[in-house]
Amino acid sequence: MMPDLGKYSDTVLAAYGASIILLALLVGMTLWRGRRVRREMDALEQRMRRDG
Amino acid sequence: MSIWEYANPRKFLRTSERVMPALWVSSALLMAVGLVWGFFFTPDDFRQGSTVKIIFLHVPAALMAINAWFMMLVASLIWVIRRHHVSALAARAAAPVGIVMTLIALATGAIWGQPMWGTWWAWDPRLTSFLVLFLFYLGYIALWEAIDDPDTAADLTAILCLVGTVFAVLSRYAVNFWNQGLHQGASLSLDKKENVADAFSNPLYICMIGFGLFFIAMVFYRTGTEIRARRIKALLARERQGESA
């Protein structure tokens, strides 16, 4: 299944590996912060409604 | 219906949440198809060997690095002229996506350059302007974080964005008007002779569309987060005011 990358296999795999790690970090951090902020806002709105 | 309706945060959140699932799925699908096609099913180049496969990451990332800055510029100008908070927050939301795209373009370029040019880095016009663009992204993000008042931060970052646009333009067109340096001309061109072969251009187009949709999905999601974070600040301020009254 793996294509024969010849003498440049390290180069190609390093480029794909680095890019996938960077994209995964970006998506992971974005979703993590998004969920945290949404939870915080919901909790705050609920508290303010309860307290009038 | 007018585009300015989306300056209303509630309307923006409602609409973006409706279109985001389609954006996430289509961008993931197109990126996967383009990258798998490019990695597994394209031939080696007669000069570059298998390193040509790096083009499927490098070109779309570089394209989005520059276009993200232009999107930030447009959003910043809308903020400066019409004072719509959503546009300032959208510019802020796009910056981390842009900087990651710039980093991918710089990293894949360096990794490719080592075996092809014999060096990781050269002070070539396009490479240098791209590095400066990366530094502008860093400065832009740092400025947003450094200033407490969101309106002042939006004003100052808009000015920084305007200045940085010079380098975004340079990194796009440096190869055209500086006839020096190592970086080759554009990979995709309307001139058939300059264009890459069809075997490479088809998966490349798919990757470019995929990266573009990924950018839009990320900016929608991150803008939603910024709108909520701003609302939290406003609610906390209102609560403090209520306590002190």
pLDDT at A20: 97
Higher-scoring residue by pLDDT: B192, B212:
B212
B49 DSSP β-pair partners: B45
Residue B189 has pLDDT above 80, yes or no: no
Q: In whole angstroms, what is the distance from residue B198 CA to residue B237 CA? A: 58
pLDDT at B191: 61
Averaged over B134-138, what is the pLDDT? Answer: 96
Residue B190 has pLDDT above 60, yes or no: no
Averaged over B3-10, what is the pLDDT? Answer: 86
Q: In whole angstroms, what is the distance from residue B194 CA to residue A10 CA? A: 29
Which chain B residues are closer than 8 Å to A11 by Cβ? 50-51, 54, 111-112, 114-115
pTM (2 d.p.): 0.92
Which token pair is B149? 């008042």
Interface test with B, best of A9, A36, A37 (most B CBs within 10 A): A37
Averaged over B141-149, what is the pLDDT? Answer: 95
Phi-psi region of B132 (alpha: psi -120 to 50; beta: other; left: phi over 0): alpha
Q: In whole angstroms, what is the distance from residue B123 CA to residue B43 CA? A: 31
Residue B182 has pLDDT above 70, yes or no: no
Query: In chain A, positions 1-40, which contact chain B (CB-CB < 8 Å)?
Result: 1, 3-9, 11-12, 14-16, 18-19, 22-23, 25-27, 29-31, 33-34, 37-38, 40
Averaged over B213-223, what is the pLDDT? Answer: 98
Eight-state DSSP code of residue B51:
G
Tell me if A14 sits within 8 A of B110, measured CB to CB.
Answer: no
Q: What is the pLDDT of residues B114-133, one digit of tens each?
A: 999 899 999 888 888 899 99
Q: What is the pLDDT of residues B28-75, one digit of tens each?
A: 999 999 999 999 999 998 888 999 999 999 999 999 999 999 999 999
Cα atoms in the 13 Å half-sphere on the side-chain side of B181: 20
3-class SS of residue B8: coil
pLDDT at A2: 82
Nearest to B112 by CA among A6, A5, A11: A11
